[in-house]
Amino acid sequence: MRSYEWMVTYTPQTVWIEGKGVLIWLSLYAGMLGGGTYLAGLYFNNLPGMVLGWLIILIIKGGLHLAHAERPSRLWRMMLRPQTSWISRGLILTILLIVFGALQIAFSLWQRASGIEILVRVLAGICAFGIIVYTGFTMSCVRGVPFWNSALLPVLFLLWAFLTGLTLVQAIDAHVDTRAATAGNLVLLIASLIFVVIYLGIASYGEPAVKESARALTKGRLAPILFIGIILIGMVMPLAISFSGYVTGALSAPSVLVLVVCVIVGGLSLTYAALKAGLYSPLSPAGS
């Protein structure tokens, strides 16, 4: 974009997806991945799943936050405005999950089913849920990017986080009920597909900047990411694998591996497309 076109034409949002902003994209997805895996571990009472989700939040999400910060020693200052900032809330939730998750894992090893273990489990689960939804709310509250201003965005990210967590727990624990897990996959995949269609359908009738974002996803520069990364790899292939597992009651190890890879690729594509499609509305019409 030429400098004189800045905010005169539809200006792409780049802060969260280009250059060092790639770390924000990966951090947002790591929150969905870790939070969803932790919750799936809690649901199936699966300690390896809880540990994996906790490690993703601690190492990957936490590390990306530190790598993105210009001065990591001052990162704590971003937590001082939880009453007005979703970024502050997200950082607080991340730290709380790291603390409560560590305690919950420790109590699961040495004091399983004790009162304190159940309390910490509930608190950690609330924090994991909060980390997932904060991703969508952080974006939906950015008023300068109309494409993100939708209540459907947090719900879509929540569905995908649950889907990813479910597939990861299924992959690391052969004792998880395959029919129950694949049934959950099918429900979440179909719901995600419906929400994507509804989201784009509503956007296609929105204000001009929103329409332009929808056009970029369905017919323009981001169409390959939508149709190949999100729909084909992230939805159609997992649907076929999950349906097969539900019918037969079993999935081979290679099938589970392909399922995990497809869902992760789909989640990365979904968050990337949402961030990349964001456009700022022109401040003044071109030529005025």
DSSP codes, 117-174: HHHHHHHHHHHHHHHHHHHHHHHHT-TT-GGG--THHHHHHHHHHHHHHHHHHHHH-T
CA–CA dist 169, 33 (Å, integer): 11
Q: Which residues contact 109 (CB under 8 A, 6 or more apart)?
A: 47
User: What's the whole-model pTM score?
Assistant: 0.90
Q: How far apart are CA 80 and CA 66, in angstroms?
A: 17
CA 77, CA 88: separation in Å to the nearest integer? 9
Which of 186, 128, 115 is closest to 158 using CA atoms?
A: 128
Is-contact 11 275, C-beta < 8 A? no
Give the start-to-end residue ranges of the domains of the chain.
10-280
Q: What is the pLDDT along the chain (288 residues), one digit of tens a residue?
A: 554 455 567 888 888 898 888 999 999 999 999 999 999 999 998 999 999 999 999 999 989 988 877 676 666 666 767 776 777 888 889 999 999 999 999 988 887 767 888 899 999 999 999 999 988 888 988 888 999 999 999 999 999 999 999 999 999 987 888 898 999 999 999 999 999 999 999 999 999 999 999 999 999 999 999 999 999 999 999 999 999 999 998 899 999 999 999 999 999 999 999 999 999 887 655 444
Residue with tokens 């849920």: 129
Q: Cite the DSSP H helix spans in the chain.
A: 22-43, 47-55, 62-68, 86-110, 115-140, 152-172, 178-203, 208-218, 223-224, 237-248, 253-276
Q: 10-280 falls under which CATH superfamily?
A: Formate dehydrogenase/DMSO reductase domain (1.20.1630.10)
